[in-house]
Structure 1
Amino acid sequence: MTRGIRGATTVPENDKDLIIAYTKELLEKMIAENDIHPSNVSHIFISATKDINAAFPAQALRKIEGWKYVPVMCMAEMDVPNSLSKCIRIMMVVDTERKQEEINHVFLHDAVQLRPDLVKGD
């Protein structure tokens, strides 16, 4: 079954190293919490708010061993008034046997406010 796994994080500033580091942190947590293997990933979409442009967040994926061939695309997030700033969102499409309610969506830093109903305590 194909499932989508959501993730989101925020960065403290529009800095290349921070964008890549925070995105990598998010990706690694999504991978670990859902036991994802790159061969089971169809593709990954990454969006960023307009105030993030110092780097492509997708560069973080290339820093994770074994993920070289996973298709990934960055795009701009909709610019909705009063929405969360400096936010990076990920939609990872995977082949998994997990039921919808067994998927662990990951929200880090200020992004926990996007879906508090899906945030699980550590």
Structure 2
Amino acid sequence: MIRGVRGAITVNQNDENEIVHATELLIREMIKENEIAPDSVASVFISVTEDLSSVFPAKAMRAIEGWTFVPVMCMREIPVPSSLPKCIRVMMHVNTNIEQEKVCHIYLRNAVTLRPDLQGETNARS
């Protein structure tokens, strides 16, 4: 079965190094917490808010050993008024037998505000 594994993180500025580093941190945490092997991943979508344009955040995946051939696509989030700025969101489509409620979605830094229902759970980290 394919499950979606979600994650999000914020950055302080539209800077290539900061975006790549934050994206790599988020993806590594998603991998670790859900024990994801690259061969089990069908695809990865990465979106950024419109204030982040200095680099494709997918560049971060290429720094992770074994993830070179995982299909990834970057896109821009719709600019909803009052939405969280400087935010990177990741959706991994993973082949897994894990039950839906046991998938560990990762929200780091200010992105924890995206899922207030997960506050205090093991899958929302600040």
> What TM-score results when the alignment is normalised by the length of structure 2?
0.94
* Structure-2 residue corresponding to 1:82: 82
* Structure-1 residue corresponding to 2:68: 68
How far apart in 1 are the matches of 2:116 and 2:103?
Answer: 15
* Structure-1 residue corresponding to 2:97: 97
> Within the alignment, does 1:51 sit opposite 2:51 as a pair?
yes
Q: Aligned residues, how many? A: 122
* Structure-2 residue corresponding to 1:112: 112
* Structure-1 residue corresponding to 2:25: 25
Aligned AA (1:49): T
How far apart in 1 are the matches of 2:47 and 2:118?
Answer: 19
How far apart in 2 are the matches of 1:103 and 1:118?
Answer: 12
Provide the alpha-carbon RMSD of the alignment: 1.0
Q: Counterpart of 1:117 in 2: which secondary structure?
A: helix
Deviations 1:53-97 (A, max 9, x none): 011100000000000000000000010001000000000000001
- Structure 2 residue runs of 5 or longer lacking an equivalent are none
Identity of aligned residues (%): 52
Aligned AA (1:32): K
- How far apart are 1:117 and its partner, in Å? 1.9
> What TM-score results when the alignment is normalised by the length of structure 1?
0.97
- How far apart are 1:118 and its partner, in Å? 2.6
Deviations 1:93-121 (A, max 9, x none): 00001000000000000000000223534
- Structure 1 residue runs of 5 or longer lacking an equivalent are none
How far apart in 2 are the matches of 1:118 and 1:65?
Answer: 30
How far apart in 1 are the matches of 2:118 and 2:64?
Answer: 25
Deviations 1:15-36 (A, max 9, x none): 0000000000000000000000
